[in-house]
Chain A
Amino acid sequence: MATPAVPPSTPPATPTETPAAASDPAPAPSPASVSAPAPAPVPAPTPAPASSSDPAAAAATTAAPGQTPASAPAPAQAPAQSLPGPALPGPFPGGRVVRLHPVILASIVDSYERRNEGAARVIGTLLGTVDKHSVEVTNCFSVPHNESEDEVAVDMEFAKNMYELHKKVSPNELILGWYATGHDITEHSVLIHEYYSREAPNPIHLTVDTSLQNGRMSIKAYVSTLMGVPGRTMGVMFTPLTVKYAYYDTERIGVDLIMKTCFSPNRVIGLSSDLQQVGGASARIQDALSTVLQYAEDVLSGKVSADNTVGRFLMSLVNQVPKIVPEDFETMLNSNINDLLMVTYLANLTQSQIALNEKLVNL
């Protein structure tokens, strides 16, 4: 996870150099920002997000035409100057976190499944809102594109149209970036990223690995940053961002329900009735309680060393159970049950009333 993706702007001549560039730690790109003075190696976190937006666009345009020989030495030099320490996986120095909603991922997977014949991957636009500390992606739509060995064509008209339509429903959503399926960032990604940087400042690139490399569907987000020696042609590198998953409460419940299809043989589940749900929830609590009990027993028997924080949580848990005098509890319970029974009786009464009314009217 420490290695950012292969700098795609570098032409085929430099694949040997790209591993060197790729071993840069995440903070490396900031030295390449044009606004920083000569002591470039010091990673300056704050200017990086701001400056990478403009130079990124400029860099992508300069890199795209085949100025291959000039850009070749630039990545080789930059790593030599700017390695401040061992490669660290970590969040983007600007503190940018990408919060994804599960609906996005489901959409992406669905459009991947519906891709055209012969298309290796699908791309689309990400919509959402920008916060001070994070970027929240709440919607997306796929965009038709054609990709071949030499060229890539994205239907930006379509993308603009769809964005307009989406804006009518949710006027607060902005174009945040784009997504692609597949586990690697290719050269075409840079071009597409450049298209999108015209639409949004500092676009985010999200990859969802639907080819299931390493047996997992890895989901990564990137932001493009400049790298290279200032004054020469700049290269573009994609640096990773932390991806967190954001859920609304109702989304959490929806996802829990949908997740159950993993366990059913033909991937189909029905919606359960109310008492079944209560039963399910109490089973879950029972499992949680047995895990906690097991832990407590292990600690007591010395198998596991005691952890103070866990102990504190357990303490507060036990103290949260209210101590009620049995008679009070009886009265409370009875009054509640009486309320519920009365309401049920009323509901039944009302239903029979309207049924009677129906019969009378139809006489």
Chain B
Amino acid sequence: MASRKEGTGSAATSSSSTTGAAGKGKGKAGSGDSAVKQVQIDGLVVLKIIKHYQEEGQGTEVVQGVLLGLVVEDRLEITNCFPFPQHTEDDADFDEVQYQMEMMRSLRHVNIDHLHVGWYQSTYYGSFVTRALLDSQFSYQHAIEESVVLIYDPIKTAQGSLSLKAYRLTPKLMEVCKEKDFSPEALKKGNITFEHMFEEVPIVIKNSHLINVLMWELEKKSAVADKHELLSLASSSHLGKTLQLLMDRVDEMSQDIVKYNTYMRNTSKQQQQKHQYQQRRQQENMQRQSRGEPPLPEEDLSKLFKPHQPPARMDSLLIAGQINTYCQNIKEFTAQNLGKLFMAQALQEYNS
């Protein structure tokens, strides 16, 4: 991830000036408004992402790639993309930045938009809210204000409908990340809750006329029947998997909470001790005064009682965000399934 930051830094300095100027026109609407209201994706990009995952992604590994395009008013147009090779141990000398640079240079020769506008990642059952993602997205968004991360869920797509979502960091979170200060006070000041970490941007898919012609051609030529996976009632394994992941996260969260509780308890104990010490000091000083001796010097309390480290709040925020995403997914899933079950019931009643 670190190398990608440098890559975007050097690659984006030229593009950020143009895209920044384009984005600021609408971005001034308010500090809460972000510069991108809609993401418009070419059909080609969708197909490429699908293909990349299908060929190179197995199991829980994520596949990633870079999105290229333009910013038009308040719309982010994504017109092309290229995949990133995966990290393997025997690729120690592989230079990500160089790969990216070469790829973009070559694409420029064939008139493909060479402006970075974001990156995409596949996800396993919806678990993508991680520190790594946050860091990457922050570096992208810092360099290019309008960048998004596209999350592609291949398992949900295989069940019948394309699952592609675009996320950005909220401006509040951007502020906090900029200062690199993840302490509880800073987060409290920013008033960041887990719901306000990522914002979802609506996606539309757009095709040129020629691609539409191509689609007609394909439709005529390839009469492959749909699999109708979408209407299958036996999808409990998917639900089971998601619940399993949810349970893991909730366990982590509870551990986090326990840590926080111990911290609070320790701090309050420490406060008490400090208080007691101060009182004893005062008493002694009074006694000494009454005896005419010089008072004891005030000692630095903070050296005697080292303050405890507050537990990192960022991680628990991320976990909460992830749990939130899982819950959303589950709710969507159950809504779909309930619909299907009611349909099955209606059909059965009609028969009997």
Contacts and interface: CB of A to CB of B under 8 A. Distances in A.
Contacts of A249: 158, 227, 229
Interface stretch (B5-13, B15-23, B45-53, B134-142): B45-53
B46 A101 contact: no
B160 interface: yes
Interface in B1-48: 40, 42-44, 46-48
A340 B111 contact: no
A251 B51 contact: yes
A316 interface: no
B121 to A, nearest CB: 15
B224 A252 contact: yes
Interface stretch (B172-180, B209-217, B276-284): B209-217
Nearest to B229: A249
B344 interface: yes
Most buried by A among B46, B203, B243: B46
A272 B161 contact: yes
- If over half of A's interface residues share one DSSP class (helix, strand or loop), that class is named, otherwise mixed; here it is helix
Contacts of B218: 102, 105, 245, 255, 259
A251 B102 contact: no
Contacts of A232: none
Given A252-B226, A268-B40, A281-B231, A162 B212 contact: no
Contacts of A255: 47, 215, 218
A135 B312 CA distance: 54
B211 A110 contact: yes
A174 to B, nearest CB: 14
Interface string A73-104: 00000000000000000000000000001110
Nearest to B213: A217
A262 B214 CA distance: 10
A275 B206 contact: no
A361 B313 contact: yes
A123 to B, nearest CB: 10
A268 B84 CA distance: 28
Given A281-B231, A343-B243, A253 B215 contact: no
A106 interface: yes
A362 interface: yes
A274 B337 CA distance: 10
Contacts of A165: 99, 102-103, 106
Contacts of B160: 253, 277, 281
A354 B323 contact: yes
A67 B1 CA distance: 58
B9 to A, nearest CB: 21
B237 interface: no
Interface residues of A, number: 87
Interface stretch (A3-11, A299-307, A329-337): A329-337
A168 interface: yes
A143 B110 contact: yes
B222 A254 contact: no
A103 B51 contact: yes
Contacts of A62: none
Interface string A189-211: 00000000000000000000010
Contacts of A245: 218, 221-222, 224
B117 interface: no
A281 B162 CA distance: 13
Contacts of B203: 270-271
Nearest to A101: B51
A337 B341 contact: yes
Most buried by B among A212, A281, A284: A281
A186 interface: no
A111 B228 contact: no
Interface stretch (A29-37, A43-51, A146-154, A345-353): A345-353
B106 A250 contact: no
A168 B157 CA distance: 26
B348 A324 contact: yes
A161 interface: yes
Contacts of B214: 105-106, 109, 217
Contacts of A292: none
A247 interface: yes
A314 interface: no
B133 interface: no
B241 interface: no
Given A110-B80, A138-B55, A165-B102, A354 B110 contact: no
B148 to A, nearest CB: 14
A290 interface: no
A158 B109 contact: yes
Contacts of A122: 110
Interface stretch (B267-275, B301-309, B327-335): B327-335
A116 interface: yes
Interface string B81-111: 0011100000000100001001100100111
Interface string B193-215: 11100000011111111111111
Contact of B337 (A269, A340, A351): A340
23 contacts: A102-B47, A105-B214, A106-B211, A139-B51, A168-B85, A245-B218, A245-B224, A250-B158, A253-B160, A258-B43, A259-B219, A262-B216, A269-B204, A271-B204, A274-B161, A274-B332, A275-B339, A277-B161, A281-B231, A324-B348, A340-B341, A343-B243, A344-B330
In the A-B complex, the 7 residue pairs with the closest CB atoms: A258-B43, A103-B47, A347-B327, A114-B111, A245-B222, A281-B230, A106-B44
Interface of B: 40, 42-44, 46-48, 50-56, 79-80, 83-85, 94, 99, 102-103, 106, 109-112, 154, 157-158, 160-162, 164, 184, 188, 193-195, 202-219, 221-222, 224, 226-231, 233, 236, 239, 243, 246, 250, 253, 257, 260, 313, 316, 320, 323-324, 326-327, 330-341, 343-345, 348, 352
Given A254-B47, A258-B46, 8 more contacts: A106-B43, A107-B48, A170-B56, A245-B221, A253-B161, A254-B157, A271-B162, A347-B331
